[in-house]
Amino acid sequence: MADFSDLPLHDAILHSITVSWKARQCILDLEVFFERGVNARSATLIFTSLSAVELPHKAPWGESIFVNDCSIDETGRYLIEMQSGDVLAFQASDFTLNERAST
């Protein structure tokens, strides 16, 4: 599995976030640039065994639906910095990034 910080999420478009309380999952619906110079493709980023999530939407840098960066903090939380300046945080045991099949 890839290191979270190495995922190709820069400039990805975040459409929605769904939390399944029962499944303890958080699913992000994205368009991701998997390859340089190629159009973004639909994908899901799934956090499993979710125990906490923070989803601020204050837009200190202005409104944006684009991802700026992703990292892991010193406590092991997965962080997604949006180009709005908001930082989404996910405390989870694991993650997967899956490309969705075209329809």
**Token pair 């601020």 in the structure block, residue:** 56
What pLDDT, on a 0 to 100 scale, did the predictor assign at position 90? Answer: 98
Determine if the pTM surpasses 0.85. Answer: yes
From its phi and psi, is residue 68 left (phi > 0), alpha (psi between -120 and 50) or beta? alpha
Mean pLDDT for the chain?
Answer: 95
Asked whether 101 and 88 are in contact (CB, 8 A), the reply is: no
Q: Where are the domains of the chain?
A: 4-99
- pLDDT of 101 higher than 90: no
What pLDDT, on a 0 to 100 scale, did the predictor assign at position 28? Answer: 98
